[in-house]
Amino acid sequence: MQLLNMIFIVDDDPIHQQIANLMIKRQGIGEKVKAFSEAQDALNYLREYIYEPDLLPDLILLDLNMPVMDGWDFLNDYAGFYEQLPKKIGIFVLTSSIDDSDRKKVDDYAFVKGYLTKPLSSEIINKLQGE
C-alpha cells in the first residue's frame, strides 16, 4: 500500500486521538495526522480546502459518539457535499459502539468504507491498508 498523505482523526477523546496517532505512525501508513476534537471543525476544514486536493485527507477515522456534533451529524452534512470534492476520501467509522443498529445504519452511507471498533490496533490498520 502506498503511504497516505494525510489522515484525519475526528474524535472528542484526546486519549483515543493519541492512541490512533501513535498506531498510524508506528505502522507507517500516513505522513501527516490531523486530529479534530469537534466534528464541525473537520467539516469546516474540508469545505475551506474543497478545491485543493493536496490539502485534503486521504482517510478519515470518525467517532460516532461526540458532544455538540456527533458522527451521524458529520456523515449527514458530509453527504451533502462529498461529491464536489476533487478526490475520494476514505471514511471509516472508528467507535466504541458495538450496537448492531449503528453498524447497519453506517451501511446507509455509501461513502463509508467500514465500521471499526476502538481501540485502533495493528490488525485494524492492516484493514485500512487493504483499502
The CA dihedral of 77, 107, 95, 6, to the nearest 10 degrees, is -60
Q: What is the pLDDT of residues 9-52, one digit of tens each?
A: 999 999 999 988 888 888 888 779 999 999 999 999 999 999 99
pLDDT, tens digit (0-9, with 9 covering 90-100), for 80-123: 999 999 999 999 999 888 888 988 999 999 999 989 888 777 77
In whole angstroms, what is the distance from residue 50 CA to residue 96 CA?
30
Domains of the chain with bracketed CATH: 4-129 (3.40.50.2300)
Name the nearest CA neighbour of 50 among 79, 99, 25, 83: 83
Cβ atoms 80, 50 nearer than 8 A: no
Q: Nearest Cα to 4, choosing from 24, 27, 22, 31?
A: 31
CB neighbourhood size of 104 (10 A): 10
* Other beta carbons less than 10 A from residue 115's beta carbon: 17
